[in-house]
């Protein structure tokens, strides 16, 4: 099984505001690291090479990021052991705190590329029912690995 992930964030300022320039100016750089990372399979992007122009929520300030990885370990390595972590630590400068989950992960069959409708469904499931083998968050990764083993057995 591969790992799909969606994370969302509501920008504090428009994407062309100088207060988010450091975030916007480094998207290509961070995305390039993801693309070259071990275990990377796919990421959501438009013709610009990132997903800032893709609006799946009614709120135009809501940004989405979605990708597929070969394993939780591969995603964790990218998130916590590359340049990405420096920007993740600064997220409160650029994004509002959400009342719901801002990230969801779920298992997909190799070769399956999830769409945004599927991702939003998994996020809603996590918000409504809590973590399960169908939708889980960062804190649930130990259990998610067991759910994966059970699903593959």
Per-residue pLDDT of the chain (153 residues; tens, 9 = 90+): 999 999 999 999 999 999 999 999 999 999 999 999 999 999 999 998 999 989 888 898 999 999 999 999 999 999 999 999 999 999 999 999 988 889 999 999 999 999 999 999 999 999 999 999 899 998 887 777 776 666 665
Q: Which residues pair with 63 in a beta bridge?
A: 9
- Which string of b and e fits 70-101 if b means at least 16 CB within 10 Å? eebebbebbbeeeebeebeeeeeebbeeeeeb
Give pLDDT, residue 18. 97
The pTM assigned to this predicted structure is 0.91
Residue 80's φ and ψ, nearest 5 degrees, are -100, -10
Please tell me the predicted confidence (pLDDT) of residue 147.
67
2-152: what fold?
Alpha-Beta Plaits (3.30.70)
pLDDT of 123 reads 96
């Amino acid at each position: 099984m591969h790992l799909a992930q969606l994370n969302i964030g509501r920008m504090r300022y428009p994407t062309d505001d100088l207060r988010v320039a450091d975030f916007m100016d480094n998207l290509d750089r961070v995305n390039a690291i993801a693309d070259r990372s071990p275990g990377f399979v796919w990421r959501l992007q438009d013709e610009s090479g990132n997903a800032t122009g893709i609006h799946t929520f009614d709120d135009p300030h809501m940004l989405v990021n979605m990708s597929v990885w070969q394993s939780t370990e591969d995603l964790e390595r990218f998130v916590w052991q590359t340049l990405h972590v420096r920007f993740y630590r600064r997220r409160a400068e650029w994004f509002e705190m959400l009342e719901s989950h801002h990230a969801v992960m779920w298992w997909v069959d190799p070769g399956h590329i999830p769409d945004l409708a599927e991702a939003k469904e998994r996020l809603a499931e996590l918000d409504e029912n809590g973590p399960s083998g169908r939708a889980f968050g960062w804190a649930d990764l130990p259990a998610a690995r067991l759910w994966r083993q059970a699903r593959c057995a």
